[in-house]
Amino acid sequence: MTAHITFETLWYASEWLIRFGALATVPLRRSPSAAASWLLLIFFFPALGLLLYLFIGRPQFPVARQKRARELRAFQLDVAERLENGSSGDRGETADFAQKLGRMPCVDGNSIELIDDYDKVVERLLADIHSAEHTVDLLVYIFADDAVGKCITVELCEAVQRGVRCRVMFDPVGSHRWRRGTLRLLRDAGVETREALPVHLILRRTRADMRNHRKLFVIDGLIGYAGSQNLVAKDFRPGVVNRELVARMSGPIVASLASTISIDWAMEAFDRRDPSPVAIPAMSGGVRAQLLPSGADYPLEGFETLLVWQLHRARQRAVLVTPYFIPDESIIGAMCSAAARGVTIDLVVSSVVDQSIVHLAQCSYFEQLLAAGIRIHLYREFLLHAKNASIDKDIGIVGSSNVDFRSFQLNEEASILLYDRSVIDRLVEIQDGYILASDPVALDAWRSRPRLKRLSENIARIMSPLL
DSSP string, 88-156: -S---HHHHHHHHHHSPPPEEEEEEEEE--HHHHHHHHHHHHHT-SSEEEEEES-B-SSHHHHHHHHHH
* 142-162 mean pLDDT: 98
* 19-24 mean pLDDT: 76
pLDDT surpasses 90 at 172:
yes
The pLDDT value given to residue 21 = 77
pLDDT tier at 405, thresholds 50, 70, 90: confident
Q: Which residue, of 249, 264, 289, is where some domain finishes? A: 289
Region at 8 (left for phi over 0; alpha for psi -120 to 50; beta for the rest): alpha
The pLDDT value given to residue 207 = 62
We report the CATH number of the domain holding residue 170 as 3.30.870.10
Assigned domain for 440 exists: yes
Q: Which residue, of 260, 289, 318, is where some domain finishes? A: 289
pLDDT surpasses 60 at 203:
no
pLDDT tier at 62, thresholds 50, 70, 90: confident
DSSP state of 204: -
Assigned domain for 297 exists: no
- Residue 418 near residue 112 (C-beta atoms within 8 A): yes
- Same structural domain for residues 115 and 250? yes
Assigned domain for 363 exists: yes
Q: Of 96-100, 249-253, 463-467, which gets the smallest average pLDDT?
A: 463-467
Q: Which residue, of 41, 56, 71, is where some domain finishes? A: 56
* 258-265 mean pLDDT: 97
The pLDDT value given to residue 4 = 55
- Same structural domain for residues 8 and 76? no
Assigned domain for 198 exists: yes
* 24-53 mean pLDDT: 74
Assigned domain for 112 exists: yes
- Same structural domain for residues 45 and 116? no
Q: What is the C-alpha separation between 418 and 198, in angstroms, rounded?
A: 32
Assigned domain for 296 exists: no
The pLDDT value given to residue 206 = 56
Distance of CA 67 to the CA centre of its chain: 23
Q: What is the DSSP string of 326-379?
A: E--HHHHHHHHHHHHTT-EEEEEEESS-S-HHHHHHHHTTHHHHHHTT-EEEEE
Q: What mean pLDDT is reported for the chain?
A: 91
The pLDDT value given to residue 16 = 80
- Same structural domain for residues 274 and 362? no
pLDDT tier at 1, thresholds 50, 70, 90: very low
HSE of 242, CA atoms in CB hemisphere, 13 A? 22
* 299-327 mean pLDDT: 96
The pLDDT value given to residue 204 = 52
Assigned domain for 295 exists: no
pLDDT surpasses 90 at 261:
yes
E strand or H helix at 428, and its extent?
helix 421-436
The pLDDT value given to residue 274 = 82
Region at 388 (left for phi over 0; alpha for psi -120 to 50; beta for the rest): beta
The pLDDT value given to residue 50 = 75
How many domains would you assign to the chain? 3
The pLDDT value given to residue 17 = 85
pLDDT surpasses 80 at 32:
no
Assigned domain for 294 exists: no
- Same structural domain for residues 238 and 316? no
pLDDT surpasses 90 at 425:
yes
Range of the domain at 210: 63-289
The pLDDT value given to residue 75 = 95
Provide the pairing of β-strand 438-440 with 403-404: unpaired
- Same structural domain for residues 208 and 232? yes
- Same structural domain for residues 40 and 175? no
Q: Per this entry, what is the length of the chain?
A: 467
The pLDDT value given to residue 28 = 63
- Same structural domain for residues 25 and 129? no
Cα(first)–Cα(last) distance of the chain, in Å?
43
- Same structural domain for residues 328 and 369? yes
Radius of gyration of the chain measured on its C-alpha atoms: 23
- Same structural domain for residues 143 and 282? yes
- Same structural domain for residues 89 and 140? yes
Task: Say how many C-beta atoms besides its own lie within 10 A of residue 294's C-beta.
Answer: 28
More confident residue, 59 or 421: 421
pLDDT surpasses 70 at 407:
yes
- Same structural domain for residues 49 and 146? no
pLDDT tier at 29, thresholds 50, 70, 90: low
Task: Say how many C-beta atoms besides its own lie within 10 A of residue 158's C-beta.
Answer: 15
The string of pLDDT tens digits covering residues 380-401 is 989 999 999 999 989 999 999 9
